Amino acid sequence: MKIIFFLAVIGLCSAGLRDRASRKIGVALSHLHLGSSQYQYIAGTEFNSMTAEWQMKWDPIGNDPNTPNFAWAEELMSFAARHNQSVRGHTFIWHSAVPTWVQALENNAPALQAAISSFITSTATHFRGRCYEWDVVNEVIEGDGSYRNTIFYRTLGTTYIADAFRLARAADPYAKLFINDYNIEGVNAKSNALYNLVVSLLAQGVPIDGVGFQGHFIVGQLPTDFAANMQRFANLGLDVSITELDIRMNLPPTAANLQQQAVDYANAFRACYQVARCTGVTVWGVTDLYSWVPDFFPGQGAALLFDEQYATKPAYYSVESVLN
């Protein structure tokens, strides 16, 4: 195993999923784990696209209103450049990862609008031309189809959504601009509301290019209409992308759940590849060891393609077979 690892490290056998993929196959990365050679090796040889798991959000960049911090993001951008990876920008406007000083602007529409304008313009300008897609707004719809009750909605109504796309386009005309959300993978009240919002934005001439389907699933519960649902958005003339795929299960993993997970991952990739406008699939992390899932859903995890010892799981091979 060590000799293979050594040869891989020096690049003599680095065939990975990216070598089989005709579309983007991405991974969410964190600068916190770049010190691990295994983390770096898998991230660099298996994936041709990178999303910063946190480092390109408002709080890490704009926690200090006077001094933007791009250092953590630039560590990840350098990694992507060294490994010939494209970058998905994630994300300008989201109700989480909002700096404390921005939260204090609630109910002050002019000030919040100015803060949004400054953050999007400066951040999109900083990364101009280096991101093939940006998640401009993230998770703006509730499960029942209403607008999500966030500081942005409470203070600005729905205008912040179109404004964010216009600001991003003005600062970076090269990036495809996406709206991103979870639990919209099947046809349901939430995805129907998102569909209607996108139709409305397009009718207003808002520069929106695509829809991101996060794909945070529970094993055995993928919607059977995933591809058809993405297709209806593509039929609006938009790109689609599976942006944060992970498929969690109760811990400890059982052989049956790992096998079902392999089926589910294969079906998620098939759903993307059945839609011409689907630009690719990003998995939300390298290894189960650093997945967000156990912290957020106690007792659940094992959601990714590599386990906590960086070993491939059945899902890795089912994805490989779909890509082949």
Chain positions 100 to 129 lying near ligand G3I, rule: CB under 6 A, are: none
For ligand G3I, the closer of residues 137 and 315 by Cβ is 137
Q: Which of 46, 185, 244, 320 is catalytic?
A: 244
Look up tokens 């490290």; give the residue.
Answer: 9
With CB under 6 A as the rule, give the number of residues binding ligand G3I: 11
Look up tokens 């707004």; give the residue.
Answer: 137
Tokens (6 digits) for 23: 């579309």
Annotation says 244 is catalytic: yes
For ligand G3I, the closer of residues 272 and 323 by Cβ is 272
Pairwise CA distance, residues 249 & 314, whole Å: 14
Question: What's the distance, Cα to Cα, between the start and end of the chain in Å?
Answer: 24
152 is an interface residue for ligand G3I by CB under 6 A: no
In the complex, the smallest distance separating the C-beta of residue 300 from ligand G3I, rounded to whole angstroms, is: 13
Look up tokens 């409305």; give the residue.
Answer: 200
Residue 91 preceded by cis peptide, ω within 30: yes
Look up tokens 């898998």; give the residue.
Answer: 42
- Eight-state DSSP code of residue 25: E
Chain positions 43 to 62 lying near ligand G3I, rule: CB under 6 A, are: 53-54, 57
Q: Which of residues 58, 119, 153, 292 is near ligand G3I by CB under 6 A?
A: 292
In the complex, the smallest distance separating the C-beta of residue 1 from ligand G3I, rounded to whole angstroms, is: 29
Chain positions 210 to 249 lying near ligand G3I, rule: CB under 6 A, are: 214, 244
Pairwise CA distance, residues 21 & 17, whole Å: 6
For ligand G3I, the closer of residues 72 and 317 by Cβ is 72
| Contact yes or no for 43/75 (Cβ under 8 A) | no
In the complex, the smallest distance separating the C-beta of residue 53 from ligand G3I, rounded to whole angstroms, is: 5
How many Cα atoms are found within 13 Å in the side-chain-facing hemisphere of 233? 36
Which residue's CB atom is positioned nearest to ligand G3I?
292
Tell how strand 216-218 and strand 239-250 pair up.
Answer: parallel
In the complex, the smallest distance separating the C-beta of residue 314 from ligand G3I, rounded to whole angstroms, is: 23
Chain residues that interact with ligand G3I, rule: CB under 6 A:
30, 32, 53-54, 57, 96-97, 138, 214, 244, 292
Catalytic positions: 244
